[in-house]
Amino acid sequence: MTSPALDALLALQGVDTDIDRHQYRREALPDRQEATEVDRRVAILDRDRGDIGVTLAEIVAREEALEADLAATEARIGEVNRRLYGGQVAASRELQAMAADVKVLEARQSDLEDRVLVILDEREPHDLRLAALGAERAGAEARRAELAVTIADAEAEIDTDLAALGDQRVALASEVPADLLATYERIRSRLGGVGVARLVGSQCQGCFLTLPSGEVDRLRHLPADAVVTCEDCGRILVVG
Ligand SMILES: [Zn+2]
């Protein structure tokens, strides 16, 4: 025979252990761990994309400068050609000078075109890498969104259980005297969540050590409502 207070305390321990298990499961959801990994990967992808963006901006600036130069050269060729073939210049020396200018300008145009092609070659792998990183990031974001849903679902399910367990806890705690409850809470917080255990045979179910037979005998002859603790682990021991 045990006292109703100790029976309620044992039941409370059962509920508290269940609450702890639920809270641990809530924290350790495998999807939550995967979500952390996905977040870490996205951060790395963003850093790499940023680095490539800096490299590309420098290449694009050189490319644009060359293209502006090329456009100006082409405009100048068009201008000189219009005057050359416009029929308004008759002096042959002037016409020869203009034709020579066009040759120089065309050589410059050809050189600029070659240099633009070299830059486009230089740029291509960076463009491809940026696109690949962007695609990987989009995949990671999609997975992250899926995980947010499955995590929220799992949390909601666990929280429903925790709410019911919380109600049970309040009801059971009201059946335990305040000083015994305080002792239980103190031991429980110190000893990994277990504050009270049964004595089964001569073994404490809190630490699983066997008590000396003389001690067991002494405990068994105490009044049912006596509050005793295991001499090994210090937990409240329910005898009976
Ligand atoms: Zn013990």
Can you give the pLDDT at residue 1?
55
Distance 212 CA to ligand 1 centre (A): 12
Distance 231 CA to ligand 1 centre (A): 7
Distance 232 CA to ligand 1 centre (A): 5
Nearest to 141 by CA among 213, 220, 42, 240: 42
Can you give the pLDDT at residue 224?
84
112 in Cβ contact with 73 (< 8 Å): yes
The two beta strands, 228-229 and 236-239, are antiparallel
Handedness of CA 149, 154, 160, 162 (dihedral sign): negative
Can you give the pLDDT at residue 152?
98
Handedness of CA 113, 119, 121, 123 (dihedral sign): negative
For residue 28, the number of C-alpha atoms closer than 13 Å in the C-beta half-sphere is 6
Considering the entire predicted model, what is its pTM? 0.72
Distance 168 CA to ligand 1 centre (A): 26
For 60-78, the DSSP string reads: HHHHHHHHHHHHHHHHHHH
Distance 19 CA to ligand 1 centre (A): 22
From residue 62, alpha-carbon distances to 8, 15, 58, 107, 113 in Å are: 80, 70, 7, 20, 13
- Going through 130-206 in order, the beta strands assigned E by DSSP cover 196-200, 203-204
Going residue by residue through the chain (240 aa), what tens digit of pLDDT does each one get?
578 999 999 999 999 999 999 999 999 999 999 999 999 999 999 999 999 999 999 999 999 999 999 999 999 999 999 999 988 888 889 999 999 999 999 999 999 999 999 999 999 999 999 999 999 999 999 999 999 999 999 999 999 999 999 999 999 999 999 999 999 999 999 999 999 999 999 999 999 999 999 999 999 999 988 999 999 999 999 997
H or E element: which one contains 229? strand 228-229
Amino acid occupying residue 108: R
